[in-house]
């Protein structure tokens, strides 16, 4: 990802965000786009920095879209339960999920996860995949991106959907990549889903299409 923008970023929130967009071919988006164009009145959950482009594109196809930007929220200290009785401080996973991924009984036909998992505290990742499994309709599709390598300064990005086989990538901040998932680890995260398929890419992102 870093080579797309030509430089590295320091840590710390949204400093260094760049307004330029860089197109990136996406085999996963190519497949998901066909599905979106062939169906009617789907519910789509987009997990990543909010994109008005995505909202306009999805609604133009007759679908509804819900946005959830959880990376910035997950790094706030308010979710940490202080140490007590000799235990280590821990992340309040249940309270975080209830506050940020509670959809009041709504079920989703499509989830677009982007590379969110790579930027989340490790203790949150499995519970989030479990929560997504709960809120997806049987047979629903999820497109997820994962970093294949731990590039120094890999940027946190906003992804914009297009009507081509590419997505436009735009810097959205400089949060650090907290973990890299091997294929085996990704498969373990997806163990409760029906099927999944990896797509090869020439850059440092791997893509997965998952069926609930």
Q: For the chain, 212 residues long, give each residue's pLDDT as a single digit of tens.
A: 434 444 333 334 443 445 799 999 999 999 999 999 999 999 999 999 999 999 999 999 999 999 999 999 999 999 999 988 778 899 999 999 999 999 999 999 999 999 999 999 999 999 999 999 999 999 999 999 999 887 767 789 999 999 999 999 999 988 889 999 999 999 999 999 999 999 987 788 899 999 99
Amino acid 141: pLDDT: 98
3-state secondary structure of 109: strand
Amino acid 149: pLDDT: 82
Distance CA 84, CA 88 (A): 7
3-state secondary structure of 138: strand
Strand partners, 146: 206
Model-wide pTM > 0.75: yes
Selection from 69, 54, 48, 25 nearest residue 207 by Cα: 25
Give domain limits for the chain.
Answer: 2-211
Distance CA 66, CA 68 (A): 7
Distance CA 32, CA 114 (A): 13
Strand partners, 159: 169
Amino acid 18: pLDDT: 54
Residues 111, 27, 159, 12: is their CA dihedral positive or negative? Answer: positive
Q: What is the CATH number of domain 2-211?
A: 3.40.50.150
Distance CA 202, CA 155 (A): 17
Helix 93-100 with 122-135: angle, nearest 10 deg: 40
Amino acid 8: pLDDT: 35
Amino acid 84: pLDDT: 80
Look-up of token digits 């309040």: 92
Which residues lie closer than 8 Å to 12 by C-beta, 6 or more apart? 174
């Amino acid at each position: 990802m870093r080579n797309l923008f030509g430089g590295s970023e320091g840590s710390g929130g949204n400093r260094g965000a760049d307004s330029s967009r860089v197109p990136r071919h996406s085999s996963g988006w190519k497949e998901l786009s066909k599905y979106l164009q062939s169906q009617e009145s789907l519910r789509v959950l987009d997990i990543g920095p909010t994109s008005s482009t995505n909202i306009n594109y999805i609604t133009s196809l007759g679908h509804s879209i819900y946005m959830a930007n959880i990376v910035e929220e997950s790094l706030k200290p308010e979710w940490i339960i202080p140490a007590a009785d000799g235990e280590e401080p821990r992340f309040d996973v249940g309270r975080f999920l209830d506050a940020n991924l509670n959809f009041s009984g709504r079920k989703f036909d499509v989830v677009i996860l982007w590379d969110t998992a790579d930027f989340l505290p490790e203790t949150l990742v499995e519970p989030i995949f479990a929560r997504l499994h709960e809120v997806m309709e049987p047979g629903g599709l999820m497109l997820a991106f994962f970093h294949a390598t731990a590039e120094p300064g890999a940027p946190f990005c906003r992804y914009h959907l297009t009507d081509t086989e590419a997505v436009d990538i735009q810097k959205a901040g400089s949060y650090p990549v907290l973990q890299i998932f091997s294929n085996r680890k990704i498969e373990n995260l997806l163990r409760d889903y029906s099927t999944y398929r990896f797509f090869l890419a020439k850059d440092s992102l791997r893509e997965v299409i998952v069926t609930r």
